[in-house]
């Protein structure tokens, strides 16, 4: 489990470094299209870090429970604050420092009382319910844009966080399949279709998350966008893991309280970080 924890923390640092580089790229281009970002140095590096974070995440998810991975992933917010202050000149006040401290305490608490590793895979009906709940949220910014509704930049961060949460759930299921080994997969032709569908889900939700995040970063501080994204990327899989993957919390009441407290502190920390920053950046 220790290796999985190290990998998910490294993944978090990569993701947060990617946010800063993508913010630099997005603010240089008014259109903030995904294609334009990929043509410049900071955008290319941001995308590379994002991919590296995903690779580290999928390996980690084969070793640790989804709930533990999602909470530990917010540990990189401390790195984010330092980078946004240095590279983007975004202010770091007491509120942001408090948020990082709360998140650190939450991460320690969850690390002391991790949930039991689950062995189940979601059923088709469970996937349908999950997509019915998350799909409208992911589609909201695109619907607003189609209706020519201006403003509402925070919706981009919300949609991105939900899409990343969905991508993380797809990734977890794919990691469980891959953990069985390539030889086992080759000997069982029945797993090819689920793996192909999961791959499409990872690619599709990942692109939507990336695109919505870029558009949000053009108008909103990176130190606001990232906590909102991570809060949803954390809480949605945690809420879904017991139903989708049969992950169980510790049997001891004390450890249950510690785990619940750690999750709560983590979420409060992300909200504190968001509430103590101005929403819009200077043009």
Contact 247, 95 (CB under 8 A): no
| Residue 248, helix vs strand vs coil | strand
The yes-or-no verdict on residue 141 having pLDDT over 90 is: no
Cα four-point dihedral sign 248, 169, 228, 24: positive
**What's the mean pLDDT in 121-139?**
92
Structure confidence by residue, pLDDT tens digits, 11-59: 988 888 888 888 887 777 655 556 666 666 777 888 899 899 989 988 8
Helix residue ranges, H only, the chain: 2-28, 34-37, 41-61, 66-72, 77-87, 94-112, 124-146, 154-179, 182-187, 192-219, 222-244, 253-275
**Whether pLDDT at 225 is above 60:** yes
> If you average pLDDT over each of 168-172, 173-177, 193-197, which comes out highest?
168-172
> Is 190 within the bounds of a domain?
yes
Q: What is the pLDDT of residue 279?
A: 45
7 has pLDDT over 50: yes
Residue 137 lies in a domain: yes
Q: What is the pLDDT of residue 229?
A: 84
Give the Cα separation of 17 and 258 in Å (integer): 30
Question: What DSSP character marks residue 231?
Answer: H
| Residues paired with 248 in a beta bridge | 116
Query: How many percent of the chain have pLDDT more than 90?
Result: 15
- Asked if the structure places residue 230 within a domain, the reply is yes
Is 280 among the domain residues?
no
What is the reported pLDDT for 167? 92
Confidence (pLDDT) at 86: 80
**pLDDT score of 215:** 82
Number of structural domains the chain divides into: 1
Assess if residue 282 is contained within a domain. no
Tell the burial category of 148 from Cβ atoms under 10 Å away from its Cβ (0-12, 13-18, 19+): exposed
Calculate what percentage of the chain has a pLDDT beyond 70: 84
The two most distant CA atoms of the chain are separated, in Å, by 57
Q: Does 283 reside within a domain? A: no
Q: Phi, psi (5° rounding) for residue 245?
A: -120, 5
Q: Could you list the residue range(s) of the whole structural domain that residue 58 is in?
A: 2-275
Residue 204 burial class via C-beta count within 10 angstroms: exposed 0-12, middle 13-18, buried 19 and up: middle
- Comparing CA positions, the residue from 92, 77, 17, 65 lying closest to residue 265 is 77
Task: Flag whether 13 is in a domain.
Answer: yes
| pLDDT for position 184 | 57
For the chain, give the mean pLDDT.
Answer: 81
Structure tokens belonging to residue 100? 């990082």
Confidence of residue 133 (pLDDT cuts 50, 70, 90): very high
């Amino acid at each position: 489990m220790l290796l999985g924890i190290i990998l998910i923390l490294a993944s978090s640092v990569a993701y947060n470094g990617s946010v800063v580089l993508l913010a630099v790229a997005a603010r240089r281009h008014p259109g903030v299209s995904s294609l334009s970002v990929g043509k410049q140095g900071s955008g290319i590096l941001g995308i590379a870090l994002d991919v590296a974070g995903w690779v580290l995440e999928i390996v980690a998810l084969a070793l640790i429970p989804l709930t533990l991975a999602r909470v530990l992933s917010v540990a990189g917010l401390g790195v984010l604050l330092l980078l946004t202050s240095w590279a983007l000149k975004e202010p770091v006040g007491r509120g942001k420092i408090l948020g990082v401290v709360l998140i650190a305490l939450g991460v320690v608490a969850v690390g002391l009382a991790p949930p039991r590793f689950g062995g189940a895979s979601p059923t088709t009906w469970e996937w349908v319910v999950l997509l019915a709940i998350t799909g409208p949220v992911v589609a909201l910014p695109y619907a607003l844009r189609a209706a020519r509704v201006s403003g509402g930049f925070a919706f981009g961060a919300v949609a991105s966080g939900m899409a990343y949460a969905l991508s993380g759930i797809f990734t977890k299921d794919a990691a469980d399949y891959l953990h069985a080994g390539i030889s086992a997969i080759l000997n069982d032709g029945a797993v090819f279709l689920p793996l192909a569908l999961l791959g499409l889900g990872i690619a599709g939700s990942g692109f939507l998350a990336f695109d919505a995040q870029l558009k949000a970063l053009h108008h909103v501080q990176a130190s606001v966008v990232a906590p909102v994204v991570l809060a949803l990327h954390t809480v949605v899989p945690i809420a879904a893991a017991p139903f989708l993957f049969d992950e169980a919390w510790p049997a001891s009441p004390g450890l249950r309280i510690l785990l619940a407290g750690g999750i709560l502190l983590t979420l409060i920390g992300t909200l504190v970080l968001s509430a103590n920053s101005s929403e819009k950046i200077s043009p």
